């Protein structure tokens, strides 16, 4: 492993040749693992780092480039594909809680949202969180019609043929079941079946599987249902999607109905009333965990009454009425072989510890994030010491690594007795390792403290930032271009051929024209592509020439503008031109346009200022203009609340409300397609004023905005 630590700049020719041979073999091994179905050993980021090191060595020693170099290969054997299914109701995820206090907060937040005193009157269900794959199974007129994976929550994969092989899942519901039923739950592989399968693989001299979850996923995502059938997958039902009638009025009652219909349901589910009871059940399940024949990673709590669930509603991705209480993370000891720096889309320099591979909770971990310079030194975000005895992290240290769920592994602490002699404190780079620009820690104006993040100041000249931006642009919640994954973006970005290179987002959309008009290299002649995959790629790109406004806004990669903010902006401005004009008009950071931006509930000053900065930068505008010659942003969809009397209206709540809490009123208005603003302007349609309303009410009167009380509002929305 000694070569690992040698910086590229310090390699001798001989070392470089050896290292290139090692990298070619290792990258090719990871390619095989990745494409050999759900068995990658390293993260995409690690894979990229290997490729980067290979490229850097080749750049320094061009004569040593090997015929089998990974830089000459691109693309992937196409994965098995399934037809997409749009979920009739989105499949959401759950918020996570980790401590007893988090759970108490969750319970308190439910009472608070509903405007009730925390008197233990609300029942919660508590059941194991199964570590499998969530599935939505649809029945029409009693017959199983389709089964879909969760996918991105909106669209999943049609795996009906494979689901039909699972004995646990009824094909037919009993007479009397509603006409449309969507039962949701978890497909999993029993631990005993997993061990038996691995024993068989070993006996046959084949490679073994990593864990039951990945194996279940791989077994389901097989084009040949016979393979799925041979794996004995199982199922627990715990939720539902579309239902023509709801057969019970509690969570517990629903699960009981599922059991009556023939679905397996988890026997450890209980209905409880207080935080204390809930935590006791959590501990009980924790004690049973090792003896259960299926992997679980926590306990899920849900408000039992469905009418309360409905009132509590959803945040952008998860329900307010449920949470997942995760079991503590698993830990292990290993050594830090090196510390490397990754440069992200916004220029953040993130140090990553390369670790001697170690299994933590059944998964091989080879690297862990070190967050930032302070974290390495043992200092937290507020300047506090985060490790005993001021421990810092050095190359060569033996460390405790923790992995919690899907979270990136962390280095918690070091073992001081095992520190090698002569290990020196890590010196954080002062320049960007990719473009060489200065790397700085910005001063946070509000706190007067240095930001914990060190950022490359290269901006547009930094190829790492530009490349990461393209990865963000094509990612699932942005343009979602199939066939342009991490590896392909690396290839297109680094290729020097003008008929191939993609350096900015608009280049994606000119690729086909450049390919057709140029006599230079044809993609289909490059190893790893081929005609079919090139055709598919062009089709996937063309399919995004029309794009939802919020996806476009998110794809721009404006700092602080995540998916939720992008949706807020899209809904508030409606069209790209209105948005862009609004942002330009808001540039002076005062006046109507600025106020309008800040009035959007959920957008604060930091976010607003960041959007304005983005629009002020001419280079951003040049790229956006080129992009808009290629793609057409679709106006924000009118909210899917046809018939709602308040769809598209802007509402301000002020004063105290009596029938709802403020949060509930806001959530309800938004679910009916209204926009809830924090301040009154000419664009406000309604001001709902309760007792004690002050300046907002005055302003509404001054502007002639319709003012109503809570009852009038209720009458309006229920009419």
Binding positions are: 44-48, 93-94, 127, 150, 186, 302, 326, 432, 435, 462
Q: Is 324 in the site for ligand IVH (CB under 6 A)?
A: yes
Q: Using the rule CB under 6 A, which residue among 11, 20, 23, 92 binds ligand IVH? A: 92
**Residue nearest ligand IVH by beta-carbon distance:** 134
Q: Is 272 in the site for ligand IVH (CB under 6 A)?
A: no
Taking the complex as a whole, how short is the minimal distance between the CB of residue 318 and ligand IVH, in angstroms?
A: 7
129 is catalytic: yes
Q: Is 137 in the site for ligand IVH (CB under 6 A)?
A: no
Q: Residue 134 class from Cβ within 10 Å (0-12 exposed, 13-18 middle, 19+ buried)?
A: buried
How far apart CA 363 and CA 211 sit, in angstroms, is 8
Taking the complex as a whole, how short is the minimal distance between the CB of residue 271 and ligand IVH, in angstroms?
A: 14
Could you tell me whether strands 706-708 and 686-689 are parallel, antiparallel, or unpaired per DSSP bridges? Answer: parallel
Joined together, the tokens standing for residue 543 give 């399919």
CB neighbours (10 Å) of residue 447?
A: 10
Q: Do the Cβ atoms of 652 and 677 come closer than 8 Å?
A: yes
Q: Using the rule CB under 6 A, which residue among 71, 134, 160, 350 binds ligand IVH? A: 134
Q: Do the Cβ atoms of 191 and 294 come closer than 8 Å?
A: yes
Query: Which lies closer to ligand IVH via its Cβ, residue 209 or residue 238?
Result: 238
Contacts (CB under 6 A) with ligand IVH, residues 386-445: none
Taking the complex as a whole, how short is the minimal distance between the CB of residue 92 and ligand IVH, in angstroms?
A: 4
Joined together, the tokens standing for residue 386 give 């985060």
Q: Is 186 in the site for ligand IVH (CB under 6 A)?
A: yes
Taking the complex as a whole, how short is the minimal distance between the CB of residue 127 and ligand IVH, in angstroms?
A: 5
Give the binding-site size for ligand IVH (rule: CB under 6 A): 15
Query: Which lies closer to ligand IVH via its Cβ, residue 255 or residue 523?
Result: 255
How far apart CA 336 and CA 354 sit, in angstroms, is 6
Query: Which lies closer to ligand IVH via its Cβ, residue 266 or residue 334?
Result: 266
Taking the complex as a whole, how short is the minimal distance between the CB of residue 323 and ligand IVH, in angstroms?
A: 10
Q: Using the rule CB under 6 A, which residue among 156, 241, 319, 344 binds ligand IVH? A: 319
Q: Using the rule CB under 6 A, which residue among 47, 106, 113, 238 binds ligand IVH? A: 238
What is the pattern of x (binds ligand IVH, CB under 6 A) and - over residues 35-74? ----------------------------------------
- Residue span binding ligand IVH (CB under 6 A) among the ranges 34-42, 124-132, 250-258, 427-435: 124-132
Q: Using the rule CB under 6 A, which residue among 12, 28, 81, 93 binds ligand IVH? A: 93
How far apart CA 419 and CA 399 sit, in angstroms, is 10
How far apart CA 615 and CA 592 sit, in angstroms, is 17
Q: How far is the CA of 271 from the CAs of 267, 278, 281, in angstroms?
A: 12, 9, 10
Q: Do the Cβ atoms of 123 and 271 come closer than 8 Å?
A: yes
Q: Using the rule CB under 6 A, which residue among 300, 583, 603, 636 binds ligand IVH? A: 300
Q: Is 327 in the site for ligand IVH (CB under 6 A)?
A: no
Residues 6+ apart with CB under 8 A from 513: none
| Longest CA span, the chain | 82
C-alpha dihedral sign at 600, 601, 605, 608: negative
Residues 6+ apart with CB under 8 A from 54: 20, 23, 24, 27, 69, 70, 71
Q: Using the rule CB under 6 A, which residue among 239, 474, 502, 583 binds ligand IVH? A: 239
- Residue span binding ligand IVH (CB under 6 A) among the ranges 123-131, 366-374, 489-497, 612-620: 123-131
How far apart CA 263 and CA 662 sit, in angstroms, is 40
The full 3-state SS of 472-534, as one line of letters, equals HHCCCCCCCCCCCCHHHHHHHHHCCCCCCCCCCHHHHHHHHHHHHHCCCCCHHHCCCCHHHHH
Query: Which lies closer to ligand IVH via its Cβ, residue 162 or residue 266?
Result: 266
Q: Where would I find the H helices in 270-331?
A: 275-288, 306-312
- Residue span binding ligand IVH (CB under 6 A) among the ranges 89-97, 373-381, 423-431, 597-605: 89-97
Query: Which lies closer to ligand IVH via its Cβ, residue 219 or residue 372?
Result: 219
Taking the complex as a whole, how short is the minimal distance between the CB of residue 561 and ligand IVH, in angstroms?
A: 25
Beta-bridge partner residues of 322: 302
3-state secondary structure of 356: strand
Q: Is 127 in the site for ligand IVH (CB under 6 A)?
A: yes
Joined together, the tokens standing for residue 629 give 């010659």
How far apart CA 40 and CA 657 sit, in angstroms, is 53
Burial letters 292-309, b for 16+ CB under 10 A, else e:
eebbbbbbbbbbbbbebb
Q: Is 308 in the site for ligand IVH (CB under 6 A)?
A: no
Annotated binding site for NAD(+): 44-48, 93-94, 127, 150, 186, 302, 326
Q: Where would I find the H helices in 93-231?
A: 100-113, 160-163, 191-203, 212-220, 225-229
Measured in residues, the chain has a length of: 719
Question: DSSP string of 590-647?
Answer: -SHHHHHHHHBTT--HHHHHHHHHHHH-HHHHHHHHHHHHH-EEEPPPPPS-TT-TTT
Q: Is 94 in the site for ligand IVH (CB under 6 A)?
A: yes
- Residue span binding ligand IVH (CB under 6 A) among the ranges 37-45, 319-327, 433-441, 460-468: 319-327
Q: Using the rule CB under 6 A, which residue among 53, 129, 550, 696 binds ligand IVH? A: 129
- Residue span binding ligand IVH (CB under 6 A) among the ranges 87-95, 103-111, 371-379, 567-575: 87-95
- Residue span binding ligand IVH (CB under 6 A) among the ranges 92-100, 105-113, 209-217, 283-291: 92-100
Annotated binding site for Zn(2+): 432, 435, 462
Taking the complex as a whole, how short is the minimal distance between the CB of residue 662 and ligand IVH, in angstroms?
A: 24
Q: Using the rule CB under 6 A, which residue among 130, 243, 474, 687 binds ligand IVH? A: 130
Q: Is 664 in the site for ligand IVH (CB under 6 A)?
A: no
Joined together, the tokens standing for residue 341 give 């720096």
Catalytic, out of 51, 129, 471, 696: 129
Q: Do the Cβ atoms of 531 and 515 come closer than 8 Å?
A: no
Kindly list the residues in this chain that would bind ligand IVH in the complex (CB under 6 A).
Answer: 92-94, 127, 129-130, 134, 150, 186, 238-239, 300, 319, 322, 324
Catalytic sites, residue numbers: 129
């Amino acid at each position: 492993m000694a070569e690992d630590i040698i910086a590229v700049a310090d390699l001798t020719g001989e070392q470089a040749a050896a290292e290139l041979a090692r990298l070619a073999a290792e990258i090719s091994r990871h390619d095989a693992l990745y494409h050999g179905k759900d068995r990658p050993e390293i993260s995409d980021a690690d894979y990229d780092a290997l490729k980067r090191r290979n490229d850097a060595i080749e750049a320094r020693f061009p004569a040593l480039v090997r015929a089998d170099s990974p830089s000459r290969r691109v693309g992937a054997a196409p994965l098995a594909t399934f037809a997409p299914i749009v979920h009739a109701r989105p499949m959401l995820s759950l918020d996570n809680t980790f401590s007893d206090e988090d759970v108490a907060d969750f319970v308190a937040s439910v009472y608070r949202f509903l405007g009730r005193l925390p008197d233990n009157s609300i029942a919660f269900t508590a059941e194991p969180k199964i570590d499998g794959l969530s599935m939505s199974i649809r029945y029409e007129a009693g017959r199983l019609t389709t089964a879909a994976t969760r996918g991105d929550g909106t669209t999943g994969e049609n795996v009906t043929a494979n689901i039909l092989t699972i004995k646990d899942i009824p094909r037919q519901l009993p007479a009397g079941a509603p006409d449309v039923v969507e039962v949701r739950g978890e497909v999993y592989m029993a631990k005993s079946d997993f061990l038996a399968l691995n024993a068989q693989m070993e006996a046959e001299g084949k490679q073994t599987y990593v864990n039951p979850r990945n194996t279940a996923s791989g077994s389901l995502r097989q084009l040949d249902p016979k393979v799925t059938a041979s794996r004995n997958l199982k199922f627990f039902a715990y939720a539902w999607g579309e239902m023509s009638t709801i057969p019970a009025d509690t969570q517990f009652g629903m699960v009981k109905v599922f059991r009556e219909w023939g679905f397996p349901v988890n026997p450890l589910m209980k209905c409880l009333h207080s935080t204390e009871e809930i935590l006791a059940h959590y501990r009980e399940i924790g004690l049973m965990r090792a003896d259960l024949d299926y992997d679980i990673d926590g306990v899920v709590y849900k408000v039992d009454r469905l009418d309360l669930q409905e009132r509590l509603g959803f945040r952008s991705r998860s329900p307010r009425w449920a949470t997942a209480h995760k079991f503590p993370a698993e830990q292990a000891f290993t050594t830090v072989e090196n510390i490397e720096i990754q440069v992200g889309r916004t220029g953040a320099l993130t140090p990553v510890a390369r670790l001697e591979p170690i299994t933590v909770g059944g998964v091989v971990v080879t690297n862990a994030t070190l967050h930032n310079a302070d974290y390495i030194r043992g200092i937290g975000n507020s300047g506090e010491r985060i490790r005993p005895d001021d421990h810092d992290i050095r190359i060569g240290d033996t460390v405790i690594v923790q992995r919690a769920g899907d979270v990136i592994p962390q280095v918690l602490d070091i073992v001081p007795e095992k520190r090698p002699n002569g290990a020196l404190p890590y010196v954080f780079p002062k320049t960007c390792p990719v473009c060489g620009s200065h790397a700085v820690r910005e001063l946070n104006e509000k706190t007067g403290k240095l930001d914990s993040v060190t950022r490359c100041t290269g901006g547009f000249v930094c190829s790492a930032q530009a490349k990461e931006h393209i990865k963000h642009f094509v990612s699932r919640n942005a343009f979602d271009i199939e066939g342009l994954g991490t590896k392909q973006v690396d290839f297109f970005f680094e290729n020097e051929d003008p008929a191939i290179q993609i350096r900015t987002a608009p280049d994606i959309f000119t690729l086909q024209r450049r390919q057709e008009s140029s006599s230079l290299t044809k993609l289909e002649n490059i190893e790893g592509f081929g005609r079919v995959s090139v055709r598919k790629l062009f089709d996937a790109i063309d399919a995004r020439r029309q794009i939802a406004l919020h996806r476009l806004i998110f794809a721009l990669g404006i700092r602080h503008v995540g998916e939720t903010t992008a949706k807020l902006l899209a809904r508030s401005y409606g069209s790209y031109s209105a948005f862009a004009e609004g942002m330009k008009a808001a540039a002076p950071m005062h006046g109507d346009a600025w106020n309008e931006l800040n009035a959007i509930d959920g957008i604060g000053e930091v976010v607003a200022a960041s959007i304005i900065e983005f629009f002020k930068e001419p280079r951003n505008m040049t790229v956006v203009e080129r992009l808009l010659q290629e793609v057409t942003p679709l106006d924000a969809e009118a909210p899917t609340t046809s018939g709602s009397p308040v769809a598209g209206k802007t509402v301000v709540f002020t004063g105290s409300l009596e029938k709802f809490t403020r949060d509930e009123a806001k959530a309800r208005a938004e679910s009916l397609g209204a926009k809830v603003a924090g301040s009154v302007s000419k664009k406000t349609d309604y001001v709902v004023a309760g007792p004690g309303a002050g300046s907002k009410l005055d302003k509404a009167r001054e502007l002639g905005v319709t003012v109503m009380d809570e009852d009038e509002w209720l009458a309006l929305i229920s009419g």
